Structure 1
Amino acid sequence: MLPESSGAQARTHISLAGMIIGCIGCVIITASSVYTALKMGSLPWPTIFTSIMSLVLLRACGRRSLNEVNVTQIIMSAGSMVAGGIAFTIPGIWMLGLADTVSPLQIMGVALAGTLLGLVCTALIRRRFVDESDLEYPIGTAAAETLLASEAGGNTGRRLFVSMGLAGVYAAVRDVAHLLPPMIATLPIPGVAFAIYNSPMMLGVGFLIGASAVGFQLAGGLLANFGLIWGGSTLGLVDLTTAQGMVASAGMGLMMGSGLGVVIKDILPKLAIQVRAHTKTQEGLVGDLTGRYDAGALALMVALAVLIVVTILRLSPIVAVVVIAMSFVTTIMSAQSVGQTGIDPMEIFGLIVLLLVAWISDTASTGLFLVAALIAVTCGLAGDVMSDFKTGAVIGTDPRSMWYGQAIGALLGSVIAVITLCALFAAYGPEAFGPGKLFVSAQASVVATMVSGIPSVPFFVGGILGGILLHVLGLPAIMFGLGVYLPFFFTLTMFVGASAKFIYDRVMVSRGKARRESDEAGIVFASGLLGGESIVGVLIALSSVIAGLLA
């Protein structure tokens, strides 16, 4: 629903300074999120990073309201998950050699339609899944705690921007001046990309994720690369190409199985409880709109999304109806997943709807990609919106102001995400996307494989079952699957960053530093490393495009 608020309260929480800072930050964060998602095959939540940045910048402008800071960070971060939905799906079209079958206008249509549906669905379910549920929303809660606990003085701001600057300069020296090698500590192991990627961003991601989760990723990488690929081929049990196909299939299955495990273990049981509770009280999920004006506005947004799906994406009316209906279903699943685990397997929800559309219609391959991308954008934005609503519920931010902030940031982010993705494609070409390429695009590769055919169906099915089992047992299945699927140098580099986090924590404890203080300092510095390199990567791509146009 669009919740009640007084006009004075909304004006207090949305300021001109906040909108300007939020929109500028949205451009930077969205562009860097596209690059990060393509480069790493994952996208860390930007909420803590944007919360701290908003806090520092607004206080530099003399603004002290935490609620204003919260709305500003919402604008700043809203485009990130839209970027993830696009980056996790669309490059699969290029991997299959279908670049000529999709236009930038269609990609923009996917982003805008997914954004509209995500905003509508979250407006309808906010009260049920935030105010009236016991879902924790760990990311939103952590952001609230950061805002409440942090004074965000000069040290925090300096630490953030210094780390961004260092990472940016380092990336420029490596990729523009070519004075640093992209890989270090390489070893010539057949079939195994053994090296450490000379990347502050990758080290920062490993630091943020931590040793426990990255340890599972390393275990998956060791099993796949040294157990099956190198070990199997060396012993003559299987040839190298076949072994690599088995590993890729198993890795994709594990990632998909981990998403299905979230649905089976975390979503469906609690969703069934909520449905039973609503049935007993004779209240539905959409029974609490504040008035006919809200309902009319949301209906117009749905109608516009349908128009985009039919006219720009050129999908049939039947497919459009299925997509609209399933966007609501998958949004509920996304809200439940993010609320329970902090994980939003948006591309898995996209795959589910893709398979449904393929079953009921003869939609072409490109159309199936567009369906998956639209649902991924919808669910990615929904997870971000619901997490932000939780932050607001903790610190007392006006929900309507937050929804408006999401709308501003998500619509702007949709445009920036598509421009950035198309710029990267124009600069590097379709051959730069895929496993072992410049942009690994792991999730998009999974979608492409589902559309085109799986190298080893038994290993894929085994991976799905293994992913479900690992998640049900409470183990980080998606990290294990990423270790199996990604080139080994990605995993090894992240493990170095995670090891740095382990050592850092022990040093801070030995110095008697408070856990909250040391965690915040580490998160800020690592987030800056991630942001600095990804921003420079986008700038390099944009400069290549401009140089090509002027040549």
Structure 2
Amino acid sequence: MNTSNGRAESREQLKPAGIVVGCVGCVIITASSVYTALKMGALPWPTIFTSITALVVLRALGRKSLNEANITQVIMSAGSMVAGGLAFTIPGIWMLGLDEQVSLPQLLAVALAGTLLGLVCTALIRRRFVEESDLEYPIGTAAAQTLLASSAGGATGKKLFGSMALAGIWCALRDVAGVIPAMVAALPIPGVNFALYNSPMLCSVGFLVGGAAVAFWFAGALIGNFGIIVGGSAAGLWDVATAQGIVSSLGMGLMMGSGLGVVIKDILPKAAGYLKRGRATGTGAAQDADDKPGMLGSLSRMDAGALGLLTAAAACLACLVLGLSPIAAVVVVALAFVTTIMSAQSVGQTGIDPMEIFGLIVLLVIAAMGEHNQVKLFFVAAIIAIACGLAGDVMSDFKTGAIIGTNPRDLWRGQAIGSLLGCIVSVAVMAALLGAYGAEAFGPGKLFVSAQASVVATMVSGIPSVAGFGIGIIAGIALYCLGIPSMMLGLGIYLPFYMSLTAAVGALIKAVYDRIGARRATAADAETTHEESGIIVASGILGGESIVGVIIALVSVASGMLG
């Protein structure tokens, strides 16, 4: 093993300045990710945003290494996946009125268990899924191209942080001063929340997702609200309340069916191939172990021991703090390895990580084993969702590193730093939001939609329309296998109409912006292309409103404690 080269690379790429900048960014990005996931029912990948931010900040400090910038953005973004795994599952506990049965130490134990399992799994599968596979990892590849092509400087920084400031001011004027209304153009349609949500962040989500995906999102909203609720009620097929139950069940079924479609279409057909390839190349891998940098190449005894200890720590947290039986804890750990492989495969092929779906699958397995405590089932789903979310993020970052030449051991260390810090930040922010707004603020049509967590809550407590849910699962699998984004269709059916309409406005803005950009394609931009500028501004707007939203919640909690 060539340890001297590894240490030299580590000293060059993992530096104190990058760690400090990354940790500061991790706190901000993780906090805003919790808010975004709860508020919007979605969590856009932060990788491009953090890549640009890392470049801007490090260059302002006189640092020009792309690899240092890459590790810095890894630290920044890792906590967001921990935040997503928690936000997509745990609020379901509050929706069912079980919040008093959950303590902060338990939430922290859930976050730590999922993070440790995610880190262990990615250390074990990196080589197979990055170096020895043909998976594209579109998010990681795009981040690498951004780092390679960007000459980010002062103007880019002004666009990024200027848009953050404007969105933050807008949020404060709306939610604190009350100068700007939250909803505009509302119409009194029974069963339909028809309005435009005055949210730059939601417009930015529509802008960043854009195109066909938002078109299917909005189509789902039209089908659910005006087809089933308005049309079905007018035809006398059901009343409005029944229609709303059908819509929510159908939407949840489509989203879950889409996740199962990823498994059926993208993962299972290739799983046997990877296993066969692994057996065929196992001898060769052992022969070139000295050419790999330790833990993330071929494992040394020390590396294997360290990963074993992390796995044991996760199992102990599940047993001693969360109250799972030893057998259930072992099953959760074993299935975490299976589902993180599925997650790595999904992200590598599509850039999509249905982390909460993998959590639901393991939840159902544990429930089938005889575990009926609802809170513990939520804990299981959260652990798996965090592990899978982190795996998708880590593997994309490894792909970025493979393209630009970043030391994989340093990348893994950066992920460990960011994700462990993200555990603390995400739990603190969720507790602050719960304290500021109460459990009644979470759920469909409420302040924090928490769409994915609502799906988990419904699976635990009971489905309003079993027929609608079953049709949704079958349709979700079929549509995904046909290449139709059934996840977005289901999201549109499930979410309140005002959210889908506002996101559609954002996508419309993107279409107009792209058309203007095409006309100006011959004009040179000294720093960024037209498309990059749009991504920078939209990312800044998304981050600005979500960060201020978290600050407002923290101030509200502090005021209540002082009062």
Q: TM-score w.r.t. structure 2 length?
A: 0.96
Taking the aligned partners of 1:283 and 1:186, their CA distance within structure 2 comes to 66
Taking the aligned partners of 2:25 and 2:279, their CA distance within structure 1 comes to 43
1:213-249 Cα offsets, whole Å, 9 max, x none, are: 1000110000110001011112222100000000000
1:110-149 Cα offsets, whole Å, 9 max, x none, are: 0001101100000000000000000000000000000000
Which residue number in structure 2 is paired with residue 327 of structure 1? 336
Taking the aligned partners of 1:248 and 1:183, their CA distance within structure 2 comes to 22
Taking the aligned partners of 2:514 and 2:561, their CA distance within structure 1 comes to 49
Contact 1:5 1:398 in 2 (8 A): no
**Residues 1:546 and 2:546 aligned together:** no
Match runs of 1:129-278 below 5 Å:
129-278=129-278
Question: Which letter maps to 2:365?
Answer: L
Which residue number in structure 2 is paired with residue 534 of structure 1? 546
Question: Which letter maps to 1:37?
Answer: A
Change (3 A) 1:83 1:4: farther
Which residue number in structure 2 is paired with residue 302 of structure 1? 311
Unaligned runs of 5+ in 1: none
Alignment root-mean-square deviation, CA: 1.7
Which residue number in structure 2 is paired with residue 83 of structure 1? 83
Taking the aligned partners of 1:71 and 1:534, their CA distance within structure 2 comes to 24
Taking the aligned partners of 1:328 and 1:251, their CA distance within structure 2 comes to 29
SS of 2:177 mapped into structure 1 = coil
Which residue number in structure 2 is paired with residue 55 of structure 1? 55
Contact 2:517 2:531 in 1 (8 A): no
**CA drift at 1:279:** 2.8
Change (3 A) 1:95 1:4: farther
1:26-84 Cα offsets, whole Å, 9 max, x none, are: 00000000000000001000000000000000000000000000000000000001000
Out of 433, 448, 466, the position equivalent to 1:424 is 433
SS of 2:185 mapped into structure 1 = strand
SS of 1:254 mapped into structure 2 = helix
Which residue number in structure 2 is paired with residue 399 of structure 1? 408
Taking the aligned partners of 2:76 and 2:280, their CA distance within structure 1 comes to 40
**CA drift at 1:525:** 0.3
Taking the aligned partners of 2:364 and 2:370, their CA distance within structure 1 comes to 10
**Residues 1:114 and 2:114 aligned together:** yes
Identity, % of aligned positions: 66
Taking the aligned partners of 1:237 and 1:337, their CA distance within structure 2 comes to 39
**Residues 1:386 and 2:377 aligned together:** no
Out of 441, 456, 459, the position equivalent to 1:450 is 459
Change (3 A) 1:10 1:392: same
**CA drift at 1:156:** 0.8
Question: Which letter maps to 1:114?
Answer: G
Taking the aligned partners of 1:32 and 1:4, their CA distance within structure 2 comes to 39
Change (3 A) 1:509 1:170: same
Contact 2:371 2:377 in 1 (8 A): no
Change (3 A) 1:96 1:403: same
1:399-443 Cα offsets, whole Å, 9 max, x none, are: 000000000000000100000001000100000000000000000
Which residue number in structure 2 is paired with residue 128 of structure 1? 128
**Residues 1:518 and 2:530 aligned together:** yes
Contact 1:56 1:152 in 2 (8 A): yes
Which residue number in structure 2 is paired with residue 493 of structure 1? 502
Contact 1:217 1:491 in 2 (8 A): yes
Which residue number in structure 2 is paired with residue 20 of structure 1? 20
Contact 2:285 2:298 in 1 (8 A): no
SS of 2:379 mapped into structure 1 = helix
Taking the aligned partners of 1:514 and 1:44, their CA distance within structure 2 comes to 29
Out of 355, 364, 379, the position equivalent to 1:370 is 379
Decide which moves more: 271-280 or 435-444.
271-280
Which residue number in structure 1 is paired with residue 321 of structure 2? 312
**CA drift at 1:314:** 0.9
**CA drift at 1:3:** 10
Question: Which letter maps to 2:509?
Answer: A
SS of 1:193 mapped into structure 2 = strand
Question: Which letter maps to 1:370?
Answer: F
Question: Which letter maps to 2:341?
Answer: I
1:357-409 Cα offsets, whole Å, 9 max, x none, are: 00012341110000000000000001000000000000000000000000000
Taking the aligned partners of 2:320 and 2:170, their CA distance within structure 1 comes to 45
Taking the aligned partners of 2:103 and 2:383, their CA distance within structure 1 comes to 15
SS of 1:188 mapped into structure 2 = strand
**CA drift at 1:475:** 1.2
Question: Which letter maps to 1:475?
Answer: I
Which residue number in structure 1 is paired with residue 294 of structure 2? none
Decide which moves more: 53-62 or 466-475.
466-475
Out of 421, 424, 444, the position equivalent to 1:412 is 421
Change (3 A) 1:73 1:325: same
Contact 1:253 1:463 in 2 (8 A): yes
**CA drift at 1:327:** 0.5
Contact 1:3 1:400 in 2 (8 A): no
1:276-330 Cα offsets, whole Å, 9 max, x none, are: 2223345699996331110111111111111111111111000100001000000
Unaligned runs of 5+ in 2: 290-296
Taking the aligned partners of 2:524 and 2:110, their CA distance within structure 1 comes to 45
Contact 2:213 2:485 in 1 (8 A): yes
Question: Which letter maps to 1:374?
Answer: I
Question: Which letter maps to 1:453?
Answer: G
Question: Which letter maps to 2:136?
Answer: E
Taking the aligned partners of 2:231 and 2:132, their CA distance within structure 1 comes to 53
Which residue number in structure 1 is paired with residue 69 of structure 2? 69
Contact 1:141 1:391 in 2 (8 A): yes
Contact 1:128 1:285 in 2 (8 A): no
Question: Which letter maps to 1:29?
Answer: I
Taking the aligned partners of 1:268 and 1:296, their CA distance within structure 2 comes to 31
Out of 339, 350, 356, the position equivalent to 1:347 is 356
Runs (4+) of structure 1 exceeding 4 A deviation are: 2-5, 282-288, 513-516
**CA drift at 1:175:** 0.5
Change (3 A) 1:90 1:152: same
Contact 1:4 1:400 in 2 (8 A): no
Change (3 A) 1:285 1:76: farther
Question: Which letter maps to 2:561?
Answer: L
